[in-house]
């Protein structure tokens, strides 16, 4: 995606229930499985779900990629995101036991063509839940 988008609340995906959704499939709009949901990162300004980490890769080489939740919907056993599987798999990632560093946030937003809210506030834009 090259056009700029703002973070949007995903009203169909309550962040407080993330423990119930861990390990569920994350699929793209075409229905292709991207990986398994690992965590939700919320917008620090309003605590709304903003990004998900998705576990991808093979045993011994797994990593967590980030995907925006704007426009995401939920089904009985999956979370459908608006980003294409191939694009998500090339997204910024962290180790399965890693964390998103503050210095890496702008690059994550840029990868998806999103404006980085931390640029104006000087604070972290995302917090893991």
pLDDT tens column, 111-122: 999 999 877 777
Euclidean distance between the first and final Cα of the chain, in Å? 26
The CATH superfamily holding the domain 19-128 is Photosynthetic Reaction Center, subunit H, domain 2 (3.90.50.10)
Residue 98 has what DSSP assignment? -
Phi first, then psi, for residue 66 (nearest 5°) are -100, 140
DSSP string, 58-72: -TTS-EEEEEE-TT-
pLDDT band at 8 (very low <50, low <70, confident <90, very high): very low
User: 121: which strand partners?
Assistant: none
Whether 10 shows a pLDDT value over 70: the answer reads no
pLDDT tens column, 37-63: 999 999 998 988 899 999 999 888 999
The domain limits of the chain are: 19-128
pLDDT band at 6 (very low <50, low <70, confident <90, very high): very low
Angle at 50 between CA 34 and CA 40, to 5 degrees: 60
């Amino acid at each position: 995606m090259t056009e700029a988008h703002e973070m949007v609340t995903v009203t169909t995906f309550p962040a407080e229930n993330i423990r119930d959704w861990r390990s569920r499939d994350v699929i793209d709009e075409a229905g292709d499985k991207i990986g398994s949901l690992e965590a939700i990162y919320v917008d620090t300004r309003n605590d709304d779900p903003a990004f998900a980490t998705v576990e991808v890769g093979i045993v011994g080489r797994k990593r967590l990629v980030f995907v925006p939740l704007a426009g995401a919907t939920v089904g009985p056993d999956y979370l459908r995101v608006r980003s294409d599987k191939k694009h998500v798999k090339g997204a910024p990632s962290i180790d399965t036991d890693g964390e998103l560093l503050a210095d890496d946030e702008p690059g994550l937003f840029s990868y998806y063509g999103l404006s980085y809210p931390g640029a104006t506030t000087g604070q972290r834009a995302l917090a893991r839940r």
